Amino acid sequence: MTSQPNNYILIVFDSCRYDSFVAARPKAMRRLGRVEKRWSWASWTAPSHYNLLMGLMPHTSPRNIFPTEYYRREFLRFNERLGVRNLEFKSFLPRLYLPVLLRKLGYRTRALVSMPVLNPATLLNTGFDSWELMDRHNDMRAMLPKLKFSEEAPTFWLLNVGETHYPYALPDEPPNAWPVVSGVHGVFRHLDDLVVGGKLPPAKRGTFSAKKLAELRGRQIDAVRYLDGVVAELFELAPKNTYITITSDHGELFGEDGYFGHGPIQHEKVLEVPFVEGLLR
């Protein structure tokens, strides 16, 4: 452990399911450690981010262990992530919210988010010094110039990344080239508007074909490949005493058992997520 706490970056690839991540065969991100298959606590963006910000990373689904013991071990992992000593579960009490704890430890707490459901007006913003909704839902590279680290205090960054979310579009792809799934795209057109309490158009019944769904999964895989390059750039920008966790808030369905997307779905593929973390060397 170092005397100076680590900077900590939590990167969340929105909607990225585990097998898409693995199929992309990322190189830069594997520098952090072994890529694990884990399970999200929720199947939708907002509740999943609440769990992440409680300090509950996607879980391993261990057998023959009491849940209380698993929680204890999970919270103790923050000693390694932050490069500190003597953090316990009770350290998170009573708020049970990671940004609140980090501020008590002297951290500057900041967030850059891509999905409007995580906009600054939400309760998730609690305990952050700054929380910014990006101008575009699918441009992680635009986040990099905003990442600042102080020599006077450690910094925590939450990065919610949207390239892996439907329609799995990279920032240089014009919207008229994005794929269209009836019943989904009409709602998605509003993603880059800050919609709080507004009305979205009624959803239509979706139409799915095996070809279209295979194309969409391929686009998510391509998005992970692209993001691997952006993460490599982030590695060059971040100080060496920076611990990075890369995961997803939930998975995605591409036609399995008649499901598409995420949210009101009970299926293992909507909960399977990648998880890799480690200290920059």
Domain boundaries, the chain: 7-279
Amino acid 48: pLDDT: 98
Of 3.30.70, 1.10.3470, 3.40.720, 1.10.10, the CATH number of 7-279 is 3.40.720
Residues 230-250 have pLDDT tens digits of: 999 999 999 999 999 999 999
User: Looking at per-residue confidence, does 191 or 13 come out higher?
Assistant: 13
Amino acid 3: pLDDT: 67
DSSP state of 32: G
Amino acid 182: pLDDT: 60
Residues 37-72 have pLDDT tens digits of: 999 999 999 999 999 999 999 999 999 999 889 999
Instruction: Provide mean pLDDT across the span 125-144.
Output: 97
pLDDT for 11 beyond 90: yes
Amino acid 204: pLDDT: 47
Provide the pLDDT confidence category of residue 35 given band limits of 50, 70 and 90: very high
Would you state the structure tokens that stand for residue 34, as one six-digit string? 């072994």
Residues 156-205 have pLDDT tens digits of: 999 999 999 999 999 999 998 898 776 554 444 455 544 433 444 444 44
Amino acid 18: pLDDT: 98
Instruction: Say what percent of the chain tops pLDDT 90.
Output: 77
Answer yes or no: are the C-beta atoms of 57 and 12 closer than 8 Å: no
Provide the pLDDT confidence category of residue 207 given band limits of 50, 70 and 90: low
Mean pLDDT score of the chain, rounded to an integer?
90
Residues 138-162 have pLDDT tens digits of: 999 999 999 999 999 999 999 999 9
Distance CA 11, CA 278 (A): 12
For 160, the 3-state DSSP assignment is: strand
Q: What is the maximum alpha-carbon separation in the chain?
A: 57
Selection from 129, 137, 125, 148 nearest residue 49 by Cα: 125
Q: Which helix (H) or strand (E) holds 236?
A: helix 210-237
